[in-house]
Amino acid sequence: MSQILLGVKYLHDQGILHRDISVDNIFLTRSGDVKIGDFGHAFTISTPPKLAITKFYHMPPELLKSEGMGDFNYRHDIYQVGVLLYNLCMLKPPYS
């Protein structure tokens, strides 16, 4: 978990929102290092997307209720890390 959080911190320090942190996008190397992958939904905070996003089960409730993208920020990635932790501990996604 610490490697995931350090990876997310690095992305945020670079101004990047991942927007899809889930068990499907966390990879382990043979040496046991954690890698974050699949940046298909990522964007830089300085150039947010103008299109609607896909609604994933791990999206924060306040974003799912939102009509626009203006309120999408770093805390949504952190929320997804929390959902990821729940998923890893309980072996199922929340709200299922």
Catalytic residues: 20
Displacement of CA 87 from its chain's centroid (Å): 13
Q: Could you give the CA distance from residue 70 to residue 86 in angstroms, rounded to a whole number? A: 27
Q: Could you give the CA distance from residue 63 to residue 48 in angstroms, rounded to a whole number? A: 14
Question: Please, which residues bridge with residue 28 across strands?
Answer: 34
